[in-house]
Amino acid sequence: MTETDVDLVILGGGSGGYACALRAAELGMSVVLIDRDKLGGTCLHSGCIPTKALLHAGEIADAARESAQFGVRATLDGIDVPAVNEYKDGVVTRLYKGLQGLVKSRGIQFVQGTGRLVSATAVQVGDTTYRGRHVVLATGAVPKTLPGLDIDGSRVIFSDHALRLDRVPASVLILGGGVIGVEFASIWKSFGAAVTVVEALPHLLPLEDEASSKLLERAFRRRGIGFKVGARFSGVEHTESGVRISLETGDRINAEMLLVAVGRGPVSQDLGYEEAGVATDRGFVKVDAYCQTNVSTISAVGDLVPSPQLAHVGFGEGILVAERLAGLPVVPIDYNGVPRITYSEPEVASVGLTEVQAVEKHGADGVRTLTYDLAGNGRSQILKTAGAVKLVAEKDGPVLGVHVVGSRVGELLAEAQLIYNWEAFPSDVAQLIHPHPTQSEAIGEAHLALAGKPLHMHG
C-alpha cells in the first residue's frame, strides 16, 4: 500500500469536482482528482453536451423540413443517425481533450479508478491511499427507475442508452415530463419518431411556472408530440413489436421503446461515506450553505447534495468550496438565482421565483405579474417562434422571477439572471435600451410595460 499526501483530494471528476480542482489549483493547492470513469462526468459525456448536440441536429432537420415557409426550397432525405452520432461524439471529444489539457496545465493529478472514502481525510484507489488536509465528495447521480421496470438497454432504456442509439425508433414512450423527458421528446419528434410523454404531475416541466408549462404543452400539441399529464404508471409488458405500459387510469399505450426519465438519484452507496461518519438523507450527502458536511474535513458538491441538479450549479459549488478552503471570503449560493433552461423546441428558461412561490412568500396582494407575448417581438416573428416573457415582481419592489418560452430564449437568461440577482426594479430595467431587432427586446419591453410605460403592447 502506497500513500500520496496533498492539500485536497476530490472524489468525482464531473462538473462540481473538476471545477473545485481547477480553482483550488489556481489558488495554490496541490490536488488529486479521482474518478472511476472519464474526466468531465455526466454533463460532458452522457448529459448536457451530447444531448444539446442532438437537439441542434433536430433543429437543422426541422429547418430543412419547414424551409418552404421562408421561401427556401429544400428537402429532408432522412436522418443519418451514424453521422449525427459522429457529429455529437466529435463535439464531446474536442471538449474532453480541452478539459484534459486544462487539468494537466494546472498541475492537478487525475487518477482514473474506483475510489472509496476510508477516513475523514483519505480516499483509497486500488493499493494507493490519497490523503489530504481536506476531501471533497463529488460522485454525482445516476438515473432512477420505478418498481416493476427492468431497464434492459434495448426496449426499456435510460437517457444514457438513448444517446447511443444507432437508429430512430418508429415510436417512443417517455416516462417523465421533466427536463430530460421533454428534451428527448423534442429530439425524437424532430428526427421523425412518434412520441408520447407520460407525467404523473399535472403539467410538463412541473417545477417551472405554470404559464410556461402551458405554453410548452401548447407548442407540443402543434408539433404533434403526444402527452398525458396527471397519469401514473402502473406496469409495463413486452410485446412482439416493443413495449406496452399501463396507467392507473386503465389506459394502455404501445410503442417500440420506453425511455425512463423519472429523475436522478445520488451515487453514495458503498463508497465509505457512512463509515466515515458523513450524514446523508435519502442517499444525498447533507451539507450546510457552504457545502460543508458534518465532518469538518469533508465537503460535498454537485448532484450528490440536495441542490438543483444542474452542471452550472456544480461549477458554482465547486468554486465556492475551493475558495472557502483557501481562506477566501465566500457567500452562500442563492439557488433561486441560478438560471434554468430546458433546451426543447421551444426552449423554456427561467430564473427566480415562480408566481406561486412569490405569492407564498409575499402574499397575493404583494405580487404583480406581466406577460409579454413574443408575437410583438420582431426577431421572434423572423424566427417564426411563439412564446412569451412573464415577469413576477414584488408590488412596488424588485423583480422576483423571469420566465421565458420560445426558440433560443435560453440566451436571454444571462440578462434575466442579473435582473434577479441584483434585485433590479422594473423601472431600472426599463431605462436600458435593447438592440433592435433582437429577442432580448422582449425582456426590455416586458419591463417597460411593468414600469407603466409600454411600447409595443397595450397598457
| Separation between Cα atoms, residue 206 and residue 204, nearest integer Å | 5
Quick one: what percent of the chain has pLDDT higher than 90?
98
In Å, the largest CA–CA distance within the chain is 74
3-state DSSP of 188-218: HHHHCCEEEEEECCCCCCCCCCHHHHHHHHH
What is the reported pLDDT for 317? 98
- Residue 158 grid coordinates: 435510460
* Pairing, β 194-199 against β 171-175: parallel
The pLDDT tens digits for 39-62 are: 999 999 999 999 999 999 999 999
The pLDDT tens digits for 183-227 are: 999 999 999 999 999 999 999 999 999 999 999 999 999 999 999
Reduce the DSSP state of residue 101 to 3 states and report it. helix
100 lies in the same domain as 203:
no
71 lies in the same domain as 26:
yes
353 lies in the same domain as 246:
no
Residue corresponding to grid cell 427536463: 179
Domain limit, last residue, from 262, 280, 296: 262
17 lies in the same domain as 132:
yes
The pLDDT tens digits for 122-145 are: 999 999 999 999 999 999 999 999
Q: What is the CATH number of the domain that holds 360?
A: 3.30.390.30
| C-alpha separations of 217 from 258, 301, 306 in Å | 20, 33, 28
What's the pTM value of the predicted model, to 2 decimals? 0.96
Edge to edge, the sheet with strand 194-199 lists 156-157, 257-260, 171-175, 194-199, 226-229
Residue pair 312/14 in contact by the 8 Å Cβ criterion: no
What is the reported pLDDT for 358? 98
Q: Decide if 49 is inside a domain.
A: yes
- Residue 411 grid coordinates: 440566451
Q: Decide if 126 is inside a domain.
A: yes
258 lies in the same domain as 269:
no
Domain limit, last residue, from 325, 360, 376: 325
Around Cβ 384, how many Cβ atoms within 10 Å? 10
Cβ neighbors of 237 (< 8 A, separation 6 or more) are: 243, 244, 246
Q: Decide if 394 is inside a domain.
A: yes
| Separation between Cα atoms, residue 293 and residue 310, nearest integer Å | 20
Domain limit, last residue, from 214, 236, 262: 262
186 lies in the same domain as 90:
no
Hey, CA dihedral for 16, 18, 21, 26, is it positive or negative? negative
Query: Averaged over 151-158, what is the pLDDT?
Result: 95
Q: Decide if 457 is inside a domain.
A: no
Instruction: Quote the number of domains for the chain.
Output: 3
pLDDT > 90? residue 456 = no
Q: Decide if 334 is inside a domain.
A: no
* Pairing, β 257-260 against β 171-175: parallel
Q: Decide if 57 is inside a domain.
A: yes
| Separation between Cα atoms, residue 9 and residue 121, nearest integer Å | 8
pLDDT > 90? residue 230 = yes
Range(s) of the domain holding residue 191: 156-262
pLDDT > 70? residue 459 = no
Active-site amino acid positions: 436
Fill in the amino acid letter for 118.
V
171 lies in the same domain as 297:
no
391 lies in the same domain as 443:
yes
Residue corresponding to grid cell 463535439: 91
113 lies in the same domain as 41:
yes
Can you say how many angstroms the Cα of residue 313 is from the centroid of all Cα atoms in its chain? 9
130 lies in the same domain as 28:
yes
DSSP code at position 292: B
pLDDT > 80? residue 101 = yes
From the number of C-beta atoms within 10 Å of its C-beta (0-12, 13-18, 19+), residue 442 rates as: buried
Q: Decide if 333 is inside a domain.
A: no
311 lies in the same domain as 435:
no
Q: Which residue(s) pair with 122 in the sheet?
A: 119, 131
Q: Decide if 194 is inside a domain.
A: yes
Residue pair 404/416 in contact by the 8 Å Cβ criterion: yes
Q: What is the CATH number of the domain that holds 321?
A: 3.50.50.60
Around Cβ 166, how many Cβ atoms within 10 Å? 7
131 lies in the same domain as 11:
yes
